[in-house]
Structure 1
Amino acid sequence: MSSKTGRTLYSRAGLRKVHGISEPTLQNLWTDRENNGHPPVADTIDGVMHWDGDAWATWHHELQRQRAAANTTNPPKLDGDPEEMVGPAEAAKICGFADSATVSHYVKNPPEGWPAPDDWDELPTRRRPKWKRWRLWQYLADRKGRGHAGGRPTGRRGLAYPYQGDERLTLARQAIAANPGAKNADLIPELQGQTEKTYSRPTWNLILKSAREHPEE
């Protein structure tokens, strides 16, 4: 359903259908909106809350990226287009695996939370699975165990907190220090002009949240 501005709006049922996320998870994300930066309701139609589809997807992808970074022991690869399809080799890099053998094993014997392939490449002698990047980020963010895939204990090399070492976190800290009473809505327009790439408001909300919780390195 489109709003008067031409933006596509989704109810919670719509988000569930489009993104394949369960109703309880969507409810929990909304309940925790003060902490996770969940986008506000764009409109209420017949008593049902609706959200801007693009804004919600951008926010959710960034949330998964952030959680994956904080929940991964091996250095993950968390850049790239969230919707891009990747094969086993790239999936291994995203997940911080040593090689694609772990991915191949997971396809045949998936651990809890491992996503089913979004598509398959039909090769002459076999089929090669493909996933959207954000589904792998979501797996990293939600997985129960953080140990090495083979069970060998490793030192934690993930982030101590979201956006640790990110230059945007430094900018956010500086903005908060210069304007201690300002709200995120007041700080974000200025921050958006300080980076070469323009990041969304949901992304800056998450970065500012981390900056307020961790004012120093």
Structure 2
Amino acid sequence: MHRANGRTYYSRADLQKVHGLSQSTLQNLWTDRENNGHPDAEIIDGVMHWDGTVWVVWYKELQRQRATAVTTNAPNLTGDPDEEVGPAEAARVCGFADSATISHYVKNPPEGWPDPDNYDLLPSGRRRPKWKRWRLWEYVANRKGRGHAGGRPKGRRGLAYPYQGDERLTLARKALAANPGATNAELIPQLQEQTEKAYSRPTWNLILKSAREHPEE
């Protein structure tokens, strides 16, 4: 960890310790930086470091965007990423019908389910768990299958790949076809000019990634 000019810079080992991520996950995020918008590194004493505030804002947004891309049940992916929410809101974040699934997960957690960040003490003496929104976004983005038992849900909401049917994906495909060999950094400015609403670089990186992997419907 290194502090300079009021900023705190973290090495990969620091990020692993602070955020509980594995070295392989951090390496994969860095390797895929062209697609995911990973913040640039600064070399300090011969070791790569990242501005801790910039990195965590980027990572939380990336998880929210990934959750948006993969979830199928009208989730709630808005709000303050650091807000702590109880079981009812956690169910809405994850796209579950009610909090019964959350209660089940607390007792029998599926792979990747986060530990509570805090608890409310109820008048009965019981403790009600609370999770930060961004940890739930991360779970939704990375969960295997859909729900505890896995498998594909019924209904018309399922996507064959991220952003299927999204007009932004169509724009990305056209941009890639018109500019073969162009990098995301070169394409994103022109894409941003083609939508009424402004979208973040991580969002466009994820859309371009899907467009490269699925150039046609």
Q: Distance in 2 between matches of 1:171 and 1:7?
A: 37
Aligned to 1:199: 199
Q: How does 1:28-107 map to 2 (within 5 A)?
A: 28-33=28-33, 36-37=35-36, 39=38, 41-69=40-68, 71-72=70-71, 74-107=73-106
Partner-residue secondary structure (3-state), 2:15: helix
Of residues 51-60 and 113-122 in structure 1, the stretch that sits farther from structure 2 once superposed is 51-60
- The answer to whether the Cα contact below 8 Å between 1:71 and 1:159 also exists between their aligned partners in 2 is yes
- The answer to whether the Cα contact below 8 Å between 1:15 and 1:21 also exists between their aligned partners in 2 is yes
Q: Distance in 1 between matches of 2:122 and 2:82?
A: 22
Q: Distance in 2 between matches of 1:122 and 1:48?
A: 44
Aligned to 2:111: 112
Q: Which sections of structure 1, spanning at least 5 residues, go unmatched?
A: none
Question: What is the deviation of 1:44?
Answer: 1.0
- The answer to whether the Cα contact below 8 Å between 1:30 and 1:38 also exists between their aligned partners in 2 is no
Amino acid at match of 1:89: A
- The answer to whether the Cα contact below 8 Å between 1:77 and 1:94 also exists between their aligned partners in 2 is yes
Spell out, residue by residue over 1:52-102, the C-alpha distance to the aligned partner (whole angstroms, 9 max, x if none): 334433443344334434554544333333333222111112222221011
Spell out, residue by residue over 1:111-165, the C-alpha distance to the aligned partner (whole angstroms, 9 max, x if none): 2321111122233233322111221122223333x25546797437432212223
Quick one: structure 1 residues 189 and 119, their matched pair in 2 at CA, closer, same or farther if it must change by over 3 Å?
same
Amino acid at match of 2:121: E
Aligned to 1:13: 13
Please report the RMSD computed on the Cα atoms of aligned residues, expressed in angstroms: 3.1
Partner-residue secondary structure (3-state), 1:65: helix
- The answer to whether the Cα contact below 8 Å between 2:37 and 2:205 also exists between their aligned partners in 1 is no
Question: What is the deviation of 1:207?
Answer: 1.6
- Count of residue pairs the alignment pairs up: 214
Amino acid at match of 1:175: A
Amino acid at match of 2:55: W
- The answer to whether the Cα contact below 8 Å between 2:188 and 2:201 also exists between their aligned partners in 1 is yes
Q: Distance in 2 between matches of 1:22 and 1:134?
A: 18
- The answer to whether the Cα contact below 8 Å between 2:37 and 2:201 also exists between their aligned partners in 1 is no
Quick one: structure 1 residues 40 and 137, their matched pair in 2 at CA, closer, same or farther if it must change by over 3 Å?
closer
Partner-residue secondary structure (3-state), 1:215: coil
| TM-score of the aligned structures, taking structure 1 as reference length | 0.78
Amino acid at match of 2:22: S
Q: Which sections of structure 2, spanning at least 5 residues, go unmatched?
A: none
Partner-residue secondary structure (3-state), 1:9: strand
Amino acid at match of 1:120: Y
Q: Distance in 2 between matches of 1:124 and 1:132?
A: 23
- The answer to whether the Cα contact below 8 Å between 2:39 and 2:55 also exists between their aligned partners in 1 is no
- The answer to whether the Cα contact below 8 Å between 2:39 and 2:54 also exists between their aligned partners in 1 is no
Q: How does 1:94-173 map to 2 (within 5 A)?
A: 94-125=93-124, 126-144=126-144, 146-149=145-148, 154-155=153-154, 157-173=157-173
Question: What is the deviation of 1:197?
Answer: 4.6
Quick one: structure 1 residues 72 and 203, their matched pair in 2 at CA, closer, same or farther if it must change by over 3 Å?
closer
| TM-score of the aligned structures, taking structure 2 as reference length | 0.78
Q: Distance in 2 between matches of 1:58 and 1:164?
A: 26
